[in-house]
Structure 1
Amino acid sequence: MKDEAEQTFWHDENLPYIEARSACNSYACYEKHTHPTLSIGVVEEGISKYHHQRFSKTIGSGSIVIINPEEVHSCNPKPNEHWAYKMFNIDPCWLAELQGEMTEGVEKYAPFSVVHSDDKFLYESIRSLYHFLLARNEVIEKEIRLIQFFSTFLHRFGGAEFKISDSNGNKKLQLARDYIADNCTSKLSIDQISKASDLSGYYLIRAFKRKYGLTPHAFQLDQRVNLSKMMLKSGMNLAETAFAAGFSDHSHFHLCFKKRVAATPRQYQEQVSGKAY
């Protein structure tokens, strides 16, 4: 009797342009089909037959498949053998916006010419991105990670160039920095910061880090920790401080604080106040 397959489907309403799925110990087979999204997947276990339009290849662990919207394809394990894989489905309109931000003159989705790769770095990056998206990270962290990943992906396989024009100027980056600082306790998104500073998400992430040395989210965490230090000095208890400073829970507060202060919130409060809370 075949072992039961494990399947996971992931979608976040705050990130409507991407969904993911994974399968482990799967014997399931697919007929040739199409879908309206760009699909990028990795084979983690087993041997499978990959058909893509007129392309056909036997692939195994470490392989990456890249399928443009509406392209006919199938990928199935060998008969009576199981396989494991992870797959992303990405809205081509969202990707087209990123392509346009990276490359002048691109106004609509530009298909990829590569349909298969054994690039080890990309393989591990896809697996890492999958686990990051399914973990309990804030939406802004996931947005940054997605833009960083697909910027690199477009550079490697789509011919897009990494361009940061100074025409936007430092004033808009300062607006972004001020907006984050003023709203550091809120659950911000890249889209909110982009609108407040009139910058594209791609430009914001790359130029912000180049200018300030931190991603927008890392800067936001710094602001939260600095705010929490003031609260702790005033005598506010740890649980109230964590909530008021915008942290999702006490463990997240404890971890971020210790990374930046080299002491726990309790240790810091006891030292600066001379009291135990």
Structure 2
Amino acid sequence: MKPRGRVQMLRCALDGVEATVAHTTHTFARHSHDRFGLGVVIAGGQRSASGRGPVEARATDVITVNPGEVHDGSPLDERGRAWRMLYFTPSLVTATLAECARTPLREVELTRPVLNDPQLSMCFARLFEVAVHDTNEGPVSDNLACEEALLALFAHVGRHYATSAPPGPERNRSIARAKSRIDDEPASASTLADLAAEAGMSRFQLLRSFAHEVGLPPHAYRMQRRVVLARQLIAQGTPLADAAVSAGFSDQSHMTRAFVRLLGVTPAGYAAAVR
């Protein structure tokens, strides 16, 4: 299975940052990331339902996503859309924003999913230029330029588009136990009955409550966690077929379909970018 269009992971000189470029008509299923995402739409437009409401983004718009924010994405028309994205680990974002603000921070939330801000776009373009390179080229070595561009980007984000994250809703402890079971063992073949027993409720109650509180039904959430596990294994150098089995997929083809559906990139493409 191949993505409809081009979605490519690129090497990034900064630790804790992943880069993606895309020009695609692919429709992304509901999913979430474990990182902050920040990017710029280069051409076309996208419609998405995010944790901050339904949004549309067009060429030159900056787009953002918070860790754990369930969202999808589809093109506005048959021409698709193109974008550049950078994904930052939460610890990197929190530390950088705290450094810029000279204020300790624990949790941060980006406040708006779509922005039209030429200065922010310029800051993003500068960071992408100095930190990201094609997989066929050697690594970028100008660490000073990368650090300067990173600080400039998040100094602007911190002044205008970031806030301390409000406390999350207190999750039903029963659902939290079921979710933790998936988080701890995403490769496990747990059934809905197993998860319901963990939560102490019927299968129907578990299915309804899990989707309401997590944003995804149990199967979709487990598939996402399996993709996360497979990515970790691939980044560590595990062969693709072994990573597929270890992450709970029936075979490499099954893993590839899940990667493309959620990320728009194949496991082989991801491996080329991170190894």
Partner of 2:14: 15
Shift of 1:99: 2.6
Q: Which amino acid aligns with 1:43?
A: V
Match of 1:191 in 2: none
Structure 1 residues 71-220: aligned runs within 5 Å: 71-103=69-101, 106-134=104-132, 136-158=140-162
Alpha-carbon distance, 1:131 to partner: 2.1
Letter in 2 for 1:22: V
After TM superposition, give the deviation of residue 159 of structure 1 in Å: 6.0
Residue-by-residue CA offset, 1:77-118 (whole Å, 9 max, x unaligned): 135322100111001111111232334553312212222211
Q: Which amino acid aligns with 1:34?
A: S
- Residue 44 of structure 1 deviates from its aligned partner by 1.1
Please tell me the residue identity of whatever aligns with 1:5.
G
Tell me how far 1:128 sits from its aligned partner: 3.1
Distance 1:151 1:75, change over 3 A: same
1:7–1:106 Cα change, 3 Å? same
- What is the CA–CA distance in structure 2 between the aligned matches of 1:133 and 1:16, rounded to whole Å? 10
- 5+ unaligned residues in a row in structure 2: which ranges? 134-139, 165-275
Find the aligned partners of 2:46 and 2:4 in 1 and give their Cα distance: 19
Give secondary structure in 1 for the equivalent of 2:38.
Answer: strand
- Tell me the TM-score normalised to structure 1 length: 0.50
Cα distance change of structure 1 residues 103 and 122 upon mapping to structure 2, 3 Å threshold: closer
Report the Cα offset of residue 137 of structure 1. Answer: 4.7
The amino acid of 1:21's aligned partner reads T
User: Residue in 1 aligned with 2:32?
Assistant: 34
State the AA in 2 paired with 1:112. L
Cα distance in structure 1, aligned partners of 2:107 and 2:10: 24
Identity %: 17
Of 55-64 and 28-37, more deviation after overlay is shown by 55-64
The TM-score normalised by the length of structure 2 is: 0.51
Quote the residue 1:6 is aligned against: 6
Structure-2 separation of matches of 1:79 and 1:102? 40
Amino acid at match of 2:9: F
Q: How does 1:234-253 map to 2 (within 5 A)?
A: none
CA distance in 2, matches of 1:102, 1:124: 18
2: distance between equivalents of 1:95 and 1:103? 12
What is the one-letter code of the residue matched to 1:23? A
Deviations 1:166-198 (A, max 9, x none): xxxxxxxxxxxxxxxxxxxxxxxxxxxxxxxxx
Flag the structure with larger Rg: 1
How many residues end up aligned between the 2 structures?
156
Q: Evaluate the alpha carbon distance shift between residue 128 and residue 145 of structure 1 in structure 2; reply closer, same or farther with a 3 A threshold.
A: closer
Which residue number in structure 2 is paired with residue 50 of structure 1? Answer: 48
5+ residue gaps, structure 1, are 161-277
Change in Cα spacing, 1:134 to 1:112, as seen in structure 2 (3 Å) is closer
C-alpha separation in 1, matches of 2:7 and 2:129: 14
SS in 1 for 2:110: coil
| Structure (1/2) with the larger strand percentage | 2
Task: Report if the CA contact (8 A) 2:51-2:71 is conserved.
Answer: yes
RMSD (Å), alpha carbons: 2.5
Summarize the Cα distance change of 1:142–1:67 in structure 2 as closer, same or farther, 3 Å threshold.
same
- Corresponding position of 1:177: none
Using the alignment, how far apart are the partners of 1:49 and 1:56 within structure 2?
8
Give the counterpart letter for 1:40 in structure 2.
L
